């Protein structure tokens, strides 16, 4: 991984990185995805080495990441503007999804607020169920959305909760 906030000679030091969340694919334990302060990284060799994903929609910064339980090439992220702003890029809540290991990304917007949105999604506030089709995430402004089709479209569950810090699906419940 790379820490752009460090001097160049220290940027790759493993002891000074800022991973926001690391997830492991249940069906392929060597496949790991990280949402890092500097962007998105993935490993296909059990964290022996990391590849930086440089293009992933409006931003590679964010906190939350989820990986498909049966397909290590598929992962979802909720991007934001980093550091002093910490809001969605362009005031639009989107989810980005890759299905090819980070080579390309879809920007998923259907059912999500596309103007005047200030929803930040914390590290543990995005989850995918055991099927890999149902996702849910919640935001710091108390909104929660769910998708039943892998993120292609989203439905609002609530807009009036306190800040949502974590969302989880119960295992074995579909």
Sheet of 39-43: strand order equals 19-25, 28-36, 39-43, 51-53
25's torsion region: left (phi>0), alpha (psi -120 to 50) or beta?
beta
The CATH number of whichever domain residue 12 belongs to comes to 2.130.10.10
pLDDT of 110-165, one tens digit each? 999 999 999 999 999 999 999 999 999 999 999 999 999 999 999 999 999 999 99
Domain assignment present for residue 91? The answer is: yes
pLDDT of 37-52, one tens digit each? 888 999 999 999 999 9
Q: Which of 151, 134, 126, 128 is nearest to 68 (CA)?
A: 128
Domain assignment present for residue 54? The answer is: yes
Tokens of 154: 């989203």
- pTM: predicted TM-score of the whole model, two decimal places: 0.92
Query: In degrees rounded to 5, what are phi and psi of residue 82?
Result: -85, 170
The total number of structural domains in the chain stands at: 1
Query: In degrees rounded to 5, what are phi and psi of residue 16?
Result: -125, 20
């Amino acid at each position: 991984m790379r820490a752009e906030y460090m001097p160049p000679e220290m940027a790759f030091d493993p002891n000074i990185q800022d991973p926001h969340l690391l997830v492991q694919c249940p069906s392929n334990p060597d496949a790991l995805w990280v949402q890092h302060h500097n962007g998105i990284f993935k490993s296909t060799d059990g964290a022996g080495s990391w590849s930086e994903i440089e293009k992933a929609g409006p931003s590679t910064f964010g906190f939350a990441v989820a990986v498909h339980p049966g397909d290590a090439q598929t992962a979802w992220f909720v991007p934001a503007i980093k550091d002093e702003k910490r809001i969605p890029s362009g005031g639009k809540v989107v989810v980005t999804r890759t299905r090819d290991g980070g080579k390309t990304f879809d920007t998923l917007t259907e059912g999500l607020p596309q103007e005047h949105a200030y929803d930040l999604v914390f590290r543990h506030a995005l989850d995918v169920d055991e099927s890999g089709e149902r996702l849910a995430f919640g935001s710091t402004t108390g909104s929660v959305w769910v998708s039943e089709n892998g993120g292609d479209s989203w439905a609002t569950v609530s807009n009036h909760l306190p800040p949502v810090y974590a969302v989880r699906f119960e295992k074995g419940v579909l």
